[in-house]
Amino acid sequence: MARLPSTTAHLRVLQQSFSEQMVEGEVAAGGFRWEFRWHFDRGELVVEPSLGRALIQDALLRFLVKSDYALEAGGDYCFTVRAAF
């Protein structure tokens, strides 16, 4: 049976604001690099640039929702994306 493709994504939280209810950071995977802003009060995720955004956006949102209370500014995190980039 063939193994499912996977790519490790590396995330760094650059800024976190509970008063603005948002987290900003950067994520890199498979040679791509993006900046993101997540407004956790509305569940809104903005990922830039658009190049390759479709590869990371859903997996990033799932990771952020699952890990939101454990994330800290300056922290480095990893998660697995079930796709090969």
Q: Where are the domains of the chain?
A: 7-81
pLDDT tens readout for residues 16-73: 998 999 999 999 999 999 999 999 999 999 999 999 999 999 999 999 999 988 999 9
Stated pTM of the model: 0.90
Residue 2 has pLDDT above 80, yes or no: no
Q: Is 14 exposed, middle or buried (0-12, 13-18, 19+ CB in 10 A)?
A: middle
Residue pair 42/54 in contact (Cβ under 8 Å)? The answer is: no
Locus of tokens 């922290």: 75
Q: Which residue shows structure tokens 């990033």?
A: 60
